[in-house]
Structure formats: structure tokens, C-alpha cells
Structure 1
Amino acid sequence: MNRCYYLLLTLCFNIGLLQAQQKENTSFKPGEIWPDTDGEHINAHGGGVLYHKGTYYWFGEHKTTGRNGNRAMVGVGCYSSKDLNNWKNEGIALQVEEQDTTSDIIKGCIIERPKVVYNNKTKKFVMWFHLELKDQGYSAARTAVAISDTPVGPYTYLKSYRPNGGQWPLNMQEEWKHKTVKEADLKGWTDEWKKEVAEGLFIRRDFDKGQMARDMTVFVDDDGKAYHVHASEENLTLHISELSDDYLSFTGKWTVVAPAGHNEAPAICKYKGKYYMITSGCTGWDPNAARSFVSESIWGSWKALGNPAVGTGADLTFESQSTFILPVAGKKDAFIFMADRWRPKKPIDGRYIWLPLIFEDEKPVIRWQDEWTLESTFGKNKSQALGKADSK
């Protein structure tokens, strides 16, 4: 009798646990554990989101436990959702290589900030990410690309390299191309040094082998043109580069933004015909104050607007760092600021900070909210219903 009672009690407990795990989420709770539909904390760090045919796909770094938690021991994870609140684990979209030690993406390399876009011309899904080769620290500074026929993968790895080798940026003055000043000639962080960085000190250094590419994102414009935005020049300067029509390579057309400004973690969106970008400073895993920029053209010139975060915690961007700006499908001018709250000592426990990105006086603004919903922020009847719009 006691055994039957125990088994019944255990069964009821398991059913209750399962029901709790399957309970639908109806709101965003920044900084808390975000369970997927299996009840597990979502493992998609440094991520970006693709919207395609009524479904959102969230791609991010799959972190692990232990001392190698920030290295790519598994690959890039993928989750899917219809409403942005409830996410199904779709598994590993890009798997690291286990056997071939000559592969760029051998287990133990560094894969960061994966972004996936859909190419309407080729009908392919294209993933770009920041790649550091195994056991080389952050010296490789490469960007890498993979491709798939379906949004969830599996993605086939194609190549990695430094972009724009042998190509000058659009805003590089002719006389700067021929300067002979070297790093060794200068003392770092002086006004003279900053001036030389702005006039192409590191661009000339890396001209032949290609420019460094670290923290990155990909932005697809209204006309279908895609752009790769990344931290370069030892994380001192942002580069914006045009991708080819198939999104698999670079055209050689590129520009520099905020030279010597020490920006990383770029995220970009378009609002009322203008381009807005949010970045962070460079303080390693530690948070800092975000920065924002605006431009009439993707090629610049870009004007600094200051910290978009306001209120308590704004000086550290609410203890997070930008990863992506997500347009909400079917809601006009509705954007979500996506950021990560890193946990370098326990990477798998990193938290997600998703907050409404609104515009006030033509400036992006982010305010902290303990809990919020799409409807309470952007309204139920703004434009068409959620899920009607599709990816470009």
C-alpha cells in the first residue's frame, strides 16, 4: 500500500513538473532564466534572430560547463518560435568538426555572434560568424560563412578569412594610402596616435592580408542588399562591408565608422529611412555604457548620439552588451534590443536582456523593465497582426 502511494505521489509530481515546463510564456523577463519548451534555459548566446515564413529562428553560441565553456565545443544552436516568447530547441544548426584537425571550426575553436539571413535570389540561408582558430587566442580575427537549404540547418561550413584584402575603404583619403607611419613610430593612445589610426594606420598594416573582423552582425536593407558590420583594427574601428548578391562573399566596397572610437558589439536597424547602430565600448566581459549612431546612408557619415540606455543601470547598459536589433514582424517601427549579460566564469548561465527599443526626438532609447509584453509596448493593432510579415 505504501509503495503504491509512493508511486502515485511520484507520478503526480512528474506530471506537475511536466506541466510547469510546458506552461507558455506570455512576457519577457530580462535577466531571468529563459526556459525553452522543454524547460531548459535557452543556450543561444551572442545571438541574432531571423524571421521567415511566420516563424522566428534564434541562433546563438552553444555554451558548455567547465573551463572551456566559452569555446566552441558543440557549435551554433537554433531555437524557433511563433510569438517570440516560447522557444523550441531545434538542435545544433552548425556542428563543430570532431575529427578533421585541419578544419577551421575544429572543436575548441572560438565561434561568436552567429547571424543568419535568407537570400531571396538563391533561396539559401546564410550564416556569418566571428571565428578564432583553435589555440590562437584572438589573433586570427576572421569572419566565417556557412550555408543551408533550411533555416534550422544543418549548415555546411564554407570558409573563413579576413575581408577586404587589397581594397581601400570608400572614405580613405588618397594621401592617407601612401603614408609611411608605422605602429612602432608612435606612442599609443596619444592624440597623434588617434589621428594616425583615423588616417589608416591599421588599414595600411592589414591591407594585403585583409582587415581584422571580430564582433559582428549582418544587416539586410530594404532593397535586399546585405552588409557585414564588424569591429576591426584591433577593435578600434568599425567596418561596414557590402556582401555579394548571394551573401557569401564581399564585393570590396566598404567604409570605416568611428575610427579609434573603440567600439564593438554592433547592432543595426533602419527607422524612417535612417540607419541606426548601437555598439558597446571595449571592456572585455565586463559591461559598459552603450553608444548609438545615426546616418542617412549605410556608408555614412555616421553621427554619434550618445548612450541610448536611460535610467538606473544605464551606465552599464543594464549589465549587458548588445548583440542584435530585432524588428518585430507585423508591427510597424517596433524593435527589440537584444543583449547578453555575460557570465564568463559560468558561460552557460549567461542571461538575455531583451528590451523595447523606441525612438524619441529621432534618437534610440532603451529603458529597463522587469517584465513586459509586445502588446503593452507596441500595441495590438499597430499595423498587421504578428506573423503576417516575412523575411526579405
Structure 2
Amino acid sequence: MIILSAALALSALILPTLAATSWIVPGAVWLDTSGNKIDAHGGMIIKPGSVWYWIGYSVNDGITPVIYSSEDLLNWDNRGIANSIKQMWRPKLIIAGGRFNIFGQVNRLTQGMTATAITGPYTLYGSGMSIPPDALTYSDCGPFVDTDGQIYWITSADHNTLSINHVTNTSNPTLSTRVASLALGAFEGPALFKVGSIYFLIVSSKTGWRPNPDKVFWATSLAGPWSGGTDVAPEGNNTYNSQSTYVAPVIGSSQTTYIFMGDAWDSTGSAASNYMWAPLSVSTSAHTATIQYFPFWKVNPTTGVVTTSSTGKRYEAEDAEMAGRAGKSNLSLGIVTDCSSCVSKRAVHRVDDGSTVTFAGVEGLGNGERQWVALHYTVNNATGGDAYVYVNDEKMNVRDLNVRAGLHHVVPISVVLQKSNNITFAVHTSDPHFEAHLDGIEVLDGTEEEIEVKL
């Protein structure tokens, strides 16, 4: 069954006027409704009523649990810190005993906190809980509520095992009976969900902040046996440069869509890390769950329907002004070359450290609101250098705005445009062999009617 229908350095780029968020853009900087970068890592989303809540940890506040809320899964209000406890990793929300409870990992143990309102204030209770029955400690963690209402806590425990334990449905809930101890390999980042009668468990390998190919296992019972270990994305993409933290079902009137929530970490897991959310295509017969990657997408929280493939006003690279090595070229020299995958079937190749490609007269809103500019380019070495854009002479590192820079041929960035703009594309590298190949750019939000395709 396929579930689809169809940091701180950035503050200078964020202006006071903020348009409503129109798309989920994997890897891009995601701003809250106050114009600040969302800081809620290792988290989850949940909808106990008519509003969605995002619980994660704030790096800027010392790895402290923070809560955001949204009605459309696009625009998120910062509801503040749940509790001032520090170093609580991967906090998750559990509704038990008629109360709202946050479990998180503190010093490799589960610490609980409770509140009568989902936004808190939350009060710590008890001491850190090890994993029953043999007092294992653990690293990553996540919750799961089965269709019968039973609550479970999944951890990457000691000795490279994944442990699934009951959670008591009481006020001040605690960890209880172990349901399964899974020796599937050295895995962490557990995200457990259920489709029909099949349980799916997505995990990542233990490679620190470096991404790897997340795997999915399946079973017809939580106790197992568990099978599988297939990739959730093409292996070379390393889960689109992210690590699993949760799978959220959006149960709509038309369909249920499952959102893969991933953290797109930087090299240290800092506040500059972004998020990689994408719908999953799930097959209960083939026992697979596959990330459906789109540069732009969104899900209707009422119907569950996914829309994607937004198109704005396009500017072709071969029509732009080229300088440097690119400027010395022409069609016969092969810098503007055929490109079968490009929209116009032409692209500017060999954009190196001494080259620039400038698009003049690019139309923008000119009202101080941020809008999306999609850069269509590839590089010959994803780690060999950086791409830059100059928007009316303001220099921006593309990787600071979207961690997918160099890893995907469509890289959306959010910028403020005037009515008429000069946008220059360039690269910087110490590698004499590094170069980019530029297809063109597209400007979204207000320049043309956006095209939404239901999949």
C-alpha cells in the first residue's frame, strides 16, 4: 500500500517581515512564526486535539526540551521550554494517566516529567529509569502507541540491542515489561510505526553526527521475529543526509500519510542543523518503507493529501551573463552544453572558483517578505567546495541556507528579494578540479501562480 496522493550566522539574513511558510523544504532553514530558526531536534510531532505539537530539544538552550505548535504543519509557534532541565536528548511526548508526559534521555537513562497541559509547565518526577529487566542504559529513544492503546518505549540499549518496553498507563508513567530485545545490529535513532497489521521499525547505524543509510525492519508482532533491513532511501544518499527520529501518521479524511522525521545534522549536531521531513511510501505486502523525496512538499492535515512540485518563474543559466572561465566560453568550447536532464536541455558547465553566472532583472515580491529561490545545479564533488549566491551583492553560502547544497540537483533557499534583482551564482574551493554545473533558477511565491501537483 503506497501512502501518497501524488546558526547564529544566519540571523543577519533574517529580516523582520516574514511571509507564511508555504512548503516543507527538506534540508532548508525552517523559521517559526516569529522569524527565528526552529530549534527542536531529535523530536516528534503529535496531534492530541485540533493542533499539532512539535517536541524536541533546543541546542541553544543547553539541550532542553522545547515545544512548538501548528495547525497546518508548516507554520510553527514557539511555545517555550517545557522544563529547564539540561542535557535531555531526544525528548518525546506520551499521553498516559490522563496527563501529558515527556520522556527523554539524560545520562543514558529515561527521565520523566509530567503536566496537566501539553504546553506545560512540566515537573520532573522520579530518578532516571534504566531499561527493565536488567537495568541497561541506552542512547537514542522513541515512543509508540499501538492500535489497542498500549504504550511502548523503544531504546537503543547496551550491547547493540534495541529494546521495546511497556510504559505504564498511569500518572507519572514508568518503564515496565520488556516486549522484545532485538539484536539486529549496531543501530540507533529508532522510529517505530504500524500500518495495518505490520509493524515497521526504522533505525540508523551508529556513525555519530555523520549520516548513513537508515534501514527498515518489519514484524507482525512487537515480540518478533523481525525481518528486513532494507534501505529507506537510495544507499548513496545516506537517508538524504539525515537521521531518523520519528515517523508521524497524519490520519486524514482521504488517506493516512506517514511523515519521516529526520534530523539533518551538521558535523557537531549544533543549532545550525536542519530537518529532513518527507512522506513515506509504505508497502505492507513487500514490507518496505521508502522516503519520497521532494524539494518542496506539504500535507493537508485534514485530508492527509500530499501536494508537491511547485513551479515559479524560471531563468535559464545559458541566458545569464557569464564571467571568468565561463565568460570566455561559447557553445563550441563546450561550457554551455547539452543537458538531457535540464529543462531547456542546456546548462552552464565548469563554473569554477574564478567564474560567475549572473541573472539580471529577476522579479521578486519587493515587499520585504521572504520567498523561495530554487537553485538547479550539480557539483562534481559534494565535499570539494561551496556554492554561493549574491542577491543584489549580499553574499550567502548556499549550504548555510540548505544543507542539501551539493547533494541534490534542486536546492531551495529562502531569501528577501526586491522588485528587480541581480542574482549571481558562484563557487569557492581550494580544489582546482571542483566545479558546478548550473541549469537555472526558479523564483516562487508571488512571481507566478504556484503549480501544486497531487501525487
The TM-score, its normalising length taken from structure 2, stands at 0.60
Query: 1:358 touches 1:364 (CA, 8 Å); kept in 2?
Result: yes
Equivalent residue for 1:371, pick from 296, 319, 330: 296
Q: Note closer, same or farther for the CA distance 1:334–1:74 as it changes in structure 2 (3 Å cut).
A: closer
Structure-2 separation of matches of 1:127 and 1:330: 26
Q: Note closer, same or farther for the CA distance 1:346–1:124 as it changes in structure 2 (3 Å cut).
A: closer
* Number of residue pairs aligned between Structure 1 and Structure 2: 289
Query: 1:164 touches 1:252 (CA, 8 Å); kept in 2?
Result: no
Query: 2:63 touches 2:88 (CA, 8 Å); kept in 1?
Result: no
Aligned to 1:290: 214
Structure-2 separation of matches of 1:379 and 1:125: 29
Q: Tell me which structure has the larger Cα radius of gyration.
A: 2
Aligned to 1:31: 27
Aligned to 1:252: 177
Aligned to 2:146: 221
Q: 1:378 Cα shift?
A: 5.3
Query: 1:271 touches 1:333 (CA, 8 Å); kept in 2?
Result: no
Query: 2:129 touches 2:175 (CA, 8 Å); kept in 1?
Result: no
Matches for 1:21-60 after TM superposition, within 5 Å: 21=18, 23-60=19-56
Aligned to 1:101: none
Structure-1 separation of matches of 2:298 and 2:305: 9
Aligned to 1:93: 82
Aligned to 2:248: 326
Q: Note closer, same or farther for the CA distance 1:232–1:253 as it changes in structure 2 (3 Å cut).
A: closer
- Counterpart of 2:82 in structure 1: which amino acid? A
Higher fraction of helix: 1
- Counterpart of 1:88 in structure 2: which amino acid? D
Equivalent residue for 1:267, pick from 170, 176, 191: 191
**Structure 1 unmatched ranges of 5 or more:** 1-15, 65-71, 97-106, 133-140, 168-206, 382-392
Query: 1:226 touches 1:242 (CA, 8 Å); kept in 2?
Result: yes
Q: 1:29 Cα shift?
A: 0.3
Q: 1:50 Cα shift?
A: 1.6
Structure-2 separation of matches of 1:297 and 1:254: 10
- Counterpart of 1:372 in structure 2: which amino acid? W
- Counterpart of 2:88 in structure 1: which amino acid? I
Correspondence 1:350 to 2:273: yes
- Counterpart of 2:152 in structure 1: which amino acid? Y
Q: Secondary structure at the match of 2:271?
A: helix
Aligned to 2:227: 303
Q: 1:128 Cα shift?
A: 0.7
Aligned to 1:278: 202
Aligned to 2:120: 153
Aligned to 1:362: 287
Q: Note closer, same or farther for the CA distance 1:164–1:286 as it changes in structure 2 (3 Å cut).
A: closer
Structure-1 separation of matches of 2:121 and 2:230: 40
- Counterpart of 2:53 in structure 1: which amino acid? Y
Query: 2:192 touches 2:247 (CA, 8 Å); kept in 1?
Result: yes
Q: 1:333 Cα shift?
A: 3.0
Q: 1:17 Cα shift?
A: 4.7
Correspondence 1:335 to 2:232: no
Q: Note closer, same or farther for the CA distance 1:262–1:17 as it changes in structure 2 (3 Å cut).
A: closer
Q: Secondary structure at the match of 1:317?
A: helix
Matches for 1:179-198 after TM superposition, within 5 Å: none
Structure-2 separation of matches of 1:307 and 1:378: 25
Query: 2:297 touches 2:306 (CA, 8 Å); kept in 1?
Result: no
Identity %: 30
- Counterpart of 1:379 in structure 2: which amino acid? V
**Structure 2 unmatched ranges of 5 or more:** 1-13, 308-455
Equivalent residue for 2:94, pick from 117, 128, 152: 117
Q: Note closer, same or farther for the CA distance 1:26–1:112 as it changes in structure 2 (3 Å cut).
A: same
- Counterpart of 1:369 in structure 2: which amino acid? F
Higher fraction of strand: 2
Q: 1:309 Cα shift?
A: 1.1
Q: Note closer, same or farther for the CA distance 1:46–1:164 as it changes in structure 2 (3 Å cut).
A: closer
